[in-house]
Structure formats: C-alpha cells, structure tokens
Chain A
C-alpha cells in the first residue's frame, strides 16, 4: 500500500470553477508536507510547505490544509485558470525519506 495516496487520479473542470484535490497518507511521524505543481514535460514547482503543526497554508489562489488526526491534506484551487492545467503532487518528508504521491492530473476547460 502506498504511503501517500492522492485522489482523484484525474479531474476536469471548467475555467473559473473551484476544485479540491486530496492527499491521504500513512507516514507518521513526518516533518513537512508539500504540494507541487508539475506542468507537462517540466519539473515540479513548490506551491506550499506545511509542518506537521500547521493546518493551513495559502499561496495566491492555492490553499493547502492539513488534518493530522485523519491524516489527510487537501489542495483547494479557487477560480481556476487555464494555466492551472497540470499535475499536482503531494510529498511528505518522513523520518528518513521523502515520499511522493503519484499526483492528480487536473485539466481546465475553457
């Protein structure tokens, strides 16, 4: 079983709509949880970094939340734009290693 699971695998929404991506994890303890955006054929770019004691972090239209009790994180995108089309990757720093989720592929339609 993957230690970091993301859902949905893919998502299509209309431009201007909001969406929420999920990340469930079993890694415990962990130092920080990150969300990355990866455009097709490019390297990932960091959106947010949260320590285990934080429960929300925003970066413009992106807001990440963390619930340590349920071991869930979500990434909320507000007023989506065509440029938001990308893969979004949840990453945890565990006790001794960095663990990547397989990502959610988000497509924004005009």
Chain B
C-alpha cells in the first residue's frame, strides 16, 4: 500500500513538553514538507526538505525542528518554544522539490496541548 503515513492521528500533550510527529513515505519522493492548518486559514509551511540531510525553514518555523536522516522519513518536533502548538499538522511529499510536481498529503495529526 503505497503512500504517505502520519502517526499518531491524535496526540495530546501538556504544555512545556516537546512532542515528535512521525511522517513516512514509500513513494520514493525526494521532497517532503510539513504544514500547519488552523481553522479558517490556508495551510502554512513549517519546514521542507529537498533531499536527505537537508531541510529549509518555511514561513512559520519558530518553535519547530525537523530532521531528514532517511529519504522515507521526515519527523517534526514541536518544542516548548512554540507558543500556540494546538493545530492540525499535515505532512506532504512530492517527486521533486519546487512545487511543479503534485504534492501528496498524509492523513494528518491533530495535536492538542493543554
């Protein structure tokens, strides 16, 4: 079953704790992305990676960190420095970076921090 998976679907954390969201793809895509989705707003780019061991900040990277040690995996850590972490997080991948190729999205992780 090819595609992009995210886990867990729902995640609850206490304020002040770091939390890591998983994203895995078996599409052999070079590029991977993390987005945040809030009600009434468009998706906002947190980080993206064009190739293994390389990643770039998006529009709202503060309070987040990522790694890309393997082509298939692009985990996102939401740190305690993120002031408003409760949101729906979407991971995506595309064959190549640059946006010319279709992005495939995972099912998302809903993070609630109290």
Contacts and interface: CB of A to CB of B under 8 A. Distances in A.
A79 interface: no
Given A41-B108, A41-B110, A42-B107, A32 B40 contact: no
A2 B44 CA distance: 12
Contacts of B88: 41
A42 B42 contact: no
Contacts of B105: 43-45
Query: Contact residue range for chain B?
Result: 20 to 34
B47 to A, nearest CB: 13
Interface string A9-53: 100000000000000000000011010000001111110010000
A97 B104 CA distance: 16
Interface of B: 4, 6, 40-45, 88, 90, 92, 99-100, 102-108, 110
Interface residues of A, number: 22
A82 interface: no
Interface of A: 2, 4, 9, 31-32, 34, 41-46, 49, 89, 93, 97-103
Contact of B42 (A31, A34, A45, A102): A102
A93 B42 contact: no
B102 A43 contact: no
A31 B88 CA distance: 28
A49 B42 contact: no
A49 B90 contact: no
Contacts of B99: 31-32, 93, 97-98
A103 B42 contact: yes
B42 A32 contact: no
Contacts of A46: 102-104
B6 to A, nearest CB: 8
